[in-house]
Amino acid sequence: MPEQIATTCCIAGGGPAGMVLGYLLARFGVRTVVLEKHADFLRDFRGDTIHPSTLEVMAELGLLDGLLRLPHQKAHELGGIVGDRRIRVADFTLLPVRCPFVAFMPQWDFLNYLAQQAGHFPEFDLRLRAEVVGLITERNRVAGVRAQTPDGPLEVRADLVIGADGRSSVVREVARLRVECSGAPMDVLWFRLPREAHDPRDPVGVFGAGAILILIDRGTHWQCGYIIPKGGFEALRQRGLPELTTHIGRLAPFAAERAAAIASWDDIKLLTVAVDHLPTWWRPGLLCIGDAAHAMSPIGGVGINLAIQDAVAAANILAAGLKNRHLTDGDLRAVQRRRAWPAHATQQMQLLIQRRLIAPILGDGQVPRPAWPLRVLDSERWLRRFPARLIGIGVRPEHVAPALLAAGNDRA
């Protein structure tokens, strides 16, 4: 017989959306179970960007100081090297926020911090190594989930199931929610390079002939993303690892010798990029948020930001109904109405950049020249506030509702 537990809200997925929503609901007094299929949060391919809008939410909750005590690097500007010219694109210091920077922090540290803070509330229950494999449906309504754990099957019955299990969401698949794909011209190879004290301190993006290299400072090493044409990994493997490491060295000369640290293809992870969305995020008893509702391109690192904004909006709209046991389908519909347009607008901007900037670089193999909009941004600092706002704050930023803050402050 499976283990059976009952709760008010069951969240599938312990990523940024799931953990932020779990924290907010438990803080408000809603019994919440978060199911995470892995044994911990330690995975290199998780995104590392914590945007000013997320830092604002952390400040509202009284969690900012503790978060910023964790190891991180601050990026006050974002730019890149296009051909042989360094271009500045976004200046976060121009934003009217508490933290005018993007914090680069290993996502496992961020998630562990949220789990620790949520654990102060008795309503919060995080189950690791619990993989959701199905839904419990009664009278055409989702009534819970079925999961597999090392100790055997688990059934969690809940008033509401949240699918926050990412772009490969099991929840949205078994719920048969229709997915519309927008496509992406690229995939990403993810690997590490050693970092030295004299290396650049800001994140580095290099747009070169036929490929793009992103280097993220993680203190002791660079976390690198090498962007290749969609479906081009096997052809790259056939040409051999030395060709790849040589090209990496040409794109980032300061790290050319260290590219030899990539000893085999086992040191490289292939991340398949997808841009998609659900026309309908919900069905009775179920709501999808974050990448499960709208998988984003890695452009700008905004997927994490949007997922967290979804979580805040969902908590603002659903918390009272969940706590009082009078949640309606209209409440679920309201979350989608609130968040679908920001997700759609952001995806459209990403798709435009993919078509106009990334696809030509990956397609023709020529050393690119900075387009005139990039040259204008680089020359006029005040204009860099606009991409900074889109990346750092986003479309329709969310704030924790006063009712949630007040209730949480009384219990904290």
Least confident stretch, 324-338, 360-374, 395-409: 360-374
Dmax (CA) for the chain in angstroms is 67
Can you give the C-alpha Rg of the chain in angstroms? Answer: 22
Q: Is residue 8 part of a domain?
A: yes
Q: Is residue 245 part of a domain?
A: yes
Q: Are residues 19 and 115 in the same domain?
A: yes
Higher local confidence (pLDDT), 355 or 391: 391
pLDDT higher than 60, residue 44: no
CA-nearest of 327, 343, 388 to 160 is: 327
Q: Are residues 244 and 114 in the same domain?
A: no
Q: What is the mean pLDDT of the chain?
A: 91
Which tens digit of pLDDT belongs to each residue from 57-97? 999 999 999 999 999 989 899 888 887 788 899 999 999 99
Higher local confidence (pLDDT), 368 or 145: 145
φ, ψ dihedrals at 387, nearest 5°:
-65, -30
pLDDT higher than 60, residue 45: no
Rounding to the nearest 10 degrees, give the CA dihedral for residues 22, 35, 342, 357: 130
Q: Are residues 174 and 111 in the same domain?
A: yes
Q: Is residue 125 part of a domain?
A: yes
Query: Which residues span the domain enclosing 111?
Result: 3-47+105-182+275-362+398-411
Q: Are residues 176 and 206 in the same domain?
A: no
Separation of CA 213 from chain center: 19
pLDDT higher than 90, residue 410: no
Q: Are residues 200 and 250 in the same domain?
A: yes
Q: Are residues 177 and 287 in the same domain?
A: yes
141-149 and 131-138 strand pairing:
antiparallel
| Mean pLDDT in residue range 393-408 | 91
Q: Are residues 403 and 312 in the same domain?
A: yes
Number of domains composing the chain: 2
Which of 221, 252, 272 is the C-terminal boundary of a domain?
Answer: 272
| Mean pLDDT in residue range 201-223 | 81
Query: Where does the pLDDT of residue 122 fall: very low under 50, low under 70, confident under 90, or very high at 90 and above?
Result: very high
> Residue 35 belongs to a domain with what CATH number?
3.50.50.60
Separation of CA 21 from chain center: 14
- Using DSSP's 3-state secondary structure scheme, residue 158 falls into strand
| Mean pLDDT in residue range 259-287 | 92
Q: Are residues 234 and 357 in the same domain?
A: no
Q: Is residue 315 part of a domain?
A: yes
Least confident stretch, 144-158, 179-193, 352-366: 352-366
Q: Is residue 62 part of a domain?
A: no
Separation of CA 160 from chain center: 23
Which residue spans within 230-374 are E strands per DSSP?
A: 269-272, 276-277, 282-283, 286-288
Q: Is residue 388 part of a domain?
A: no
Q: Are residues 141 and 110 in the same domain?
A: yes
Q: Are residues 245 and 293 in the same domain?
A: no
